[in-house]
Amino acid sequence: KSVPAVLLIGTIVLAQSSPRAMFERARMLDDSNRNLTEAIKLYTQVVNDAKSDRGLAAWAQFRIGVLWVRTHKLADAARAYKSVIAQFPGQPELVTRAKARLAELAARTKAAAKISISTERAPDDRRWLATLKLPAGYSFSRAAIDTAGRRLYSFAIRIRPLRGDLESKRAVRRGLRDVYEPSTLVVVDLDTSSIIRTVPFQLFLGDVVLNPITGLLYASAVADGCVKVIDTRTLLEKASIRLEGFPSGVEVNPITNRVYATCQGFSGNDKLFVIDAETNTVSAKVDLEGIGSKVVVNTATNRVYVTVAEPPKIRVFDGETNEATEDLPELRVFVADSLNNRIYAAVARSHVPTDELRASTGSLTLR
Is residue 79 pLDDT above 70, yes or no? yes
Residues 300 and 176 in one domain: yes
Is the pLDDT confidence value at 364 over 80? Answer: no
Report the CATH number at residue 52.
1.25.40.10
Residues 138 and 156: beta-carbon distance below 8 Å: yes
Residue 63 region by backbone torsions, left for phi larger than 0, else alpha for psi between -120 and 50, else beta: alpha
Residues 320-335: what's their mean pLDDT?
94
Task: Tell me which H or E stretch contains 32.
Answer: helix 2-32
Query: Cα–Cα distance between 218 and 205 in angstroms, integer?
Result: 10
**DSSP 8-state code for residue 244:** S
Domain boundary among 110, 141, 168: 110
- Provide φ and ψ at 317, rounded to 5°: -120, 145
Please report which confidence band the pLDDT of residue 320 belongs to, taking 50, 70 and 90 as the band edges. Answer: very high
Same domain, 94 and 146: no
- 33-72, pLDDT tens digit by residue? 678 889 999 999 999 999 899 999 999 999 999 998 877 7
Report the pLDDT value the prediction gives residue 5, as an integer from 0 to 100.
Answer: 45
Backbone φ and ψ for 79, nearest 5 degrees, come out as -65, -40
Q: What is the pLDDT of residues 5-39, one digit of tens each?
A: 444 444 344 344 589 999 999 999 888 767 888 99
Last residue of a domain, one of 110, 141, 173: 110
- Are residue 132 and residue 243 in the same domain, yes or no? yes
* Residue 127 DSSP one-character state: S
pLDDT score for 261: 98
For position 11, what pLDDT does the model report? 38
pLDDT digits (tens, 9 = 90+) for 128-148: 888 888 888 899 999 999 999
The set of residues, in sequence order, having a beta carbon less than 8 Å from that of 114 and lying 6+ positions away, is 135
Domain total of the chain? 2
Encode pLDDT of 182-214 as tens digits.
Answer: 899 999 999 988 899 998 888 899 999 999 999
96 compared with 355, residue with greater pLDDT: 96
pLDDT at 36: 84
Are residues 84 and 130 located together in one domain of the fold? no
Instruction: Give the tens place of pLDDT for each residue, 302-317.
Output: 999 999 998 899 999 9
Between CA 156 and CA 96 the distance in angstroms is: 31
Proportion of the chain above pLDDT 90, given as a percent: 62
Computed over every residue of the chain, the mean pLDDT equals 86
Q: Is the pLDDT of residue 4 over 50?
A: no
299 and 151 in a common domain: yes
CA–chain centroid gap for 173, Å, is: 20
Q: Are 59 and 168 in the same domain?
A: no
20 and 166 in a common domain: no
pLDDT, tens only, 337-358? 999 999 999 997 644 343 332 3
Q: Using the predicted structure, report yes or no on whether residue 97 has a pLDDT greater than 70.
A: yes
- Residue that finishes a domain, picked among 90, 110, 130: 110
263 and 314: one domain?
Answer: yes
- What pLDDT score was predicted for residue 356? 33
**Residue 276 pLDDT grade (very low, low, confident, very high; cuts 50, 70, 90):** very high
Whether residue 190 is found in the same domain as residue 269: yes
Please tell me the least confidently modeled range out of 111-115, 146-150, 249-253, 316-320: 111-115
What's 259's domain CATH number? 2.130.10.10
Rounded Cα distance between 155 and 122, Å, is 22
> How wide is the angle at C-alpha 77 spanned by C-alphas 46 and 136, nearest 5°?
160
Q: Which of 36-40, 112-116, 179-183, 270-274 has the highest mean pLDDT?
A: 270-274
- The answer on 358 and 234 residing in a single domain is yes
Residues written for the chain: 367
Is residue 160 located within the same domain as residue 78?
no
Q: Give the up-direction half-sphere exposure of residue 9: CA atoms within 13 A in the CB hemisphere.
A: 4
Per-residue pLDDT, averaged over 271-283, amounts to: 97
- Note whether 54 and 156 are same-domain residues: no
Please give the Cα distance from 224 to 158 (Å, whole number).
15
Q: Which residue has the higher pLDDT, 4 or 95?
A: 95
Q: Which domain holds residue 259?
A: 119-366
Beta bridge partners of residue 151, listed in sequence order: 146, 189
Whether omega before 311 lies within 30 degrees of 0, making that bond cis, reads yes
Mean local confidence (pLDDT), 208-227: 95
Mean pLDDT of 212-240: 94
